[in-house]
C-alpha cells in the first residue's frame, strides 16, 4: 500500500506544481549556414570559425520553443526559444521572455513588450520574431511557408570581450508559432 501511495504522489505532484492554463510547443531542424566568433585580448582582435568542441558550419541544430501561462499566475506569460546541439547533447542558448500582460502592446499585426525581470524585449509578427536580451539577440524571419532564417548573436561574459554570430536555415517539425502569436494578440484585444 505504501508503494502505491508513493507512486500515486509521484505522478500527481509534478502536475500540481506546474499546471498551465495554455501551452504551445514547437520545434525546427536547423542547418548552420555561418558561424563567426570575434574576441579582443590585450588590444588584439582574433577571429575564429567556431569554438572548440562546438558546432561548425553544416551541422544540424534543434530549435525548440514554448509559450505558456501558469494557472496560478494569470497575469504572466512565458515565451522561450532554445537552440541545442543534439549530437553533442548541449543547450547552446536560451532566449526567454517572462512577460506581464500589462507590459505587452499590440499594433496592427505586431506584438511587442519588455520583460519585467531582466530587460529583455520581444517583437513578434506573423513572419518575424525578435528577442533581445542582455546576453544576445534572436532574429527570425519566415521566408517560405514554414521555413525560417535565423540570425543569433551571443555576447561573451563580462570578463572576456567576445561575440558569436551564427545563422541558421530552419525547417519546421511542429509549428505552433502562429498559435502563440494569435493567442497573445487576442489577449491584447480583450
Cβ pair 179, 22 in contact under 8 A: no
Which cell is 72 given?
A: 496560478
* Residues paired with residue 24 on neighbouring β-strands, in sequence order: 67
Q: What is the pLDDT of residue 162?
A: 92
pLDDT in tens, 2-14: 444 444 344 444 4
pLDDT in tens, 32-91: 999 999 999 999 999 999 988 899 999 999 999 998 877 776 667 788 899 999 999 999
Q: What is the mean pLDDT of residues 143-155?
A: 94
Q: Give 154's pLDDT tier (boundaries 50, 70, 90).
A: very high
CA quadruple 177, 167, 91, 135: dihedral positive or negative? negative
- Can you give the pTM of this predicted structure? 0.80
User: What CA–CA distance (Å, rounded) separates 45 from 154?
Assistant: 17
Q: What is the pLDDT of residue 33?
A: 98
Q: With left for phi above 0 and alpha for psi between -120 and 50, is residue 116 left, alpha or beta? A: alpha
Amino acid at each position: 500500500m505504501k508503494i502505491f501511495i508513493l507512486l500515486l504522489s509521484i505522478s500527481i505532484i509534478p502536475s500540481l506544481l506546474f499546471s498551465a492554463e495554455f501551452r504551445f510547443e514547437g520545434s525546427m531542424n536547423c542547418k548552420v549556414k555561418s558561424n563567426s566568433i570575434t574576441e579582443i585580448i590585450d588590444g588584439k582582435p582574433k577571429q575564429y570559425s567556431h569554438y572548440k568542441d562546438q558546432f561548425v558550419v553544416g551541422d544540424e541544430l534543434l530549435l525548440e520553443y514554448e509559450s505558456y501561462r501558469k494557472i496560478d499566475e494569470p497575469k504572466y506569460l512565458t515565451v522561450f526559444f532554445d537552440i541545442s546541439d543534439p549530437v553533442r547533447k548541449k543547450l547552446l542558448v536560451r532566449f526567454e521572455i517572462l512577460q506581464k500582460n500589462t507590459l505587452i502592446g499590440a499594433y496592427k499585426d505586431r506584438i511587442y513588450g519588455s520583460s519585467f525581470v531582466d530587460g529583455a524585449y520581444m517583437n513578434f509578427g506573423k513572419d518575424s520574431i525578435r528577442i533581445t536580451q542582455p546576453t544576445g539577440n534572436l532574429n527570425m524571419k519566415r521566408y517560405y511557408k514554414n521555413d525560417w532564417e535565423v540570425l543569433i548573436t551571443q555576447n561573451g561574459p563580462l570578463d572576456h570581450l567576445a561575440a558569436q554570430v551564427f545563422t541558421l536555415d530552419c525547417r519546421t517539425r511542429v509549428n505552433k508559432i502562429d498559435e502563440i502569436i494569435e493567442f497573445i494578440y487576442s489577449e491584447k484585444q480583450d
